[in-house]
Chain A
Amino acid sequence: MTAQVAARSVPRVRDDVRVRRYRGRLLVAGPVDAYELTESAEFVFRRIDGRRTAGDIGALLAQEYDIAAAVAGQDVLDLLGELTVHQIIELD
């Protein structure tokens, strides 16, 4: 299950989320579950600042990994959807 996220949505990390770097990987823990982020998911997570839109982050991901903007944009929307469902982020 994922939440519907639009390219104009502005994600922000919830105040009660905790993050740890363990053995080189970033772990994020919401009120229910904890997740180990992949390298690209961490790239996205680190750019969530309450100001950038999902579309902005998608463009950065495309640039960083040299992939098509549409693919990167959809990947970001999917990830943000999952993070929203699992109460790691909120959307404005």
Chain B
Amino acid sequence: MTGVPAGCQEARTVLGEHRLLPGDALAAFVVGSTARGWANPGSDIDVVVVSAAPFADDRAVTTRVALVPDTLPVVTFRRGERRWELKYWTAAQVDQVMNKITWSAFEADRRVGDRLTLTENLFLARLRSCVPVFGAGWVEQARRRLDGTAYRSFMVIEALAEADDAVEDALGQLAAGDVESAVLSAQAAFGFAVEAVLAGHGEFGPQPKWRARRLRAAAPEILPFAEYWSIQTMRDFDPERPQEWVRRVAETCRRVAMEVEV
């Protein structure tokens, strides 16, 4: 497994040693920062296992999900300095999540916020960049299925709507003389606009901490990294004229909305 990020190579061994790969497993894959090669010494190693039947093991704690079955077993442990977290999905649960984001669902109601829970969204967001350690064929098929859904469009629309709301807040606050709140709203708006750009490039993920990494990976023409970083770090912010910065950010958000294909 040359070229595979550290942690991913270890995952198969760990699953075997701890007897954490069920007999009916269809796939196991490393997700998150480890899979992307962005992990640091303090990062968890997150693994998803998909099996035919629900995973049953005394070491697992369950979290509730809005699916059938309505539980997601999670096993956590430490190995050396690293914390490992394994989540166990069934193939039926994956099916149900995929069915929530079909094109017919998109045409009926384009708001993803009412459709996917954070857990479901995280699963989909991480599928594209995961590193399979078992069942690579199942993972490839799931990725192709995801590419055939309206997930990208759902995520773009969601991010643009959030950006619009935050821009409206910022400009309303400016008009009311509440400049500090306007600056905070403009920051929030820009974050959502960047998420729209990233989603448009198939870079999904609800965690802002990886936004710079994801933007570098996506390298979108409509928002070059230098421009992104300048706004993100408020390089051109003049404390004497904060209104100008807020208006510039609002213009950038609108430009993004004009360019990103829903």
Contact = CB atoms under 8 A, between A and B. Distances in A.
A85 interface: no
Interface stretch (B5-13, B21-29, B44-52, B254-262): B254-262
Q: How large is the interface on A (under 10, 10 to 19, 20 to 34, 35 or more residues)?
A: 10 to 19
B74 interface: no
Interface stretch (A3-11, A17-25, A53-61, A76-84): A17-25
B258 A21 contact: yes
Interface string A11-43: 001011011111110100000000000000000
Nearest to B262: A22
A21 B259 CA distance: 6
B124 interface: no
Interface residues of B, number: 15
Given A13-B254, A15-B171, A21 B260 contact: yes
A50 B172 CA distance: 18
A21 B157 CA distance: 10
Interface in B216-246: none
A23 B257 CA distance: 14
Interface in B178-202: none
A20 B156 CA distance: 10
Contacts of A52: none
Contacts of B261: 21-24
A38 to B, nearest CB: 15
B257 A19 contact: yes
Interface SS of chain A: strand
Interface SS of chain B: helix
Contacts of B72: none
A13 B171 CA distance: 13
B190 to A, nearest CB: 16
B164 interface: yes
A72 B172 CA distance: 35
Interface string B142-179: 00000000000000010010001001100110000000
B199 to A, nearest CB: 13
A69 B167 CA distance: 36
Given A15-B167, A15-B168, A15-B171, A20 B254 contact: no
Interface of B: 157, 160, 164, 167-168, 171-172, 250, 254, 257-262
Given A15-B171, A16-B168, A19-B254, 4 more contacts: A19-B258, A21-B260, A21-B262, A26-B258
21 contacts: A13-B254, A15-B171, A15-B172, A15-B250, A16-B168, A18-B160, A18-B257, A19-B254, A19-B257, A19-B258, A20-B257, A20-B262, A21-B257, A21-B258, A21-B259, A21-B261, A21-B262, A22-B261, A23-B261, A24-B261, A26-B258
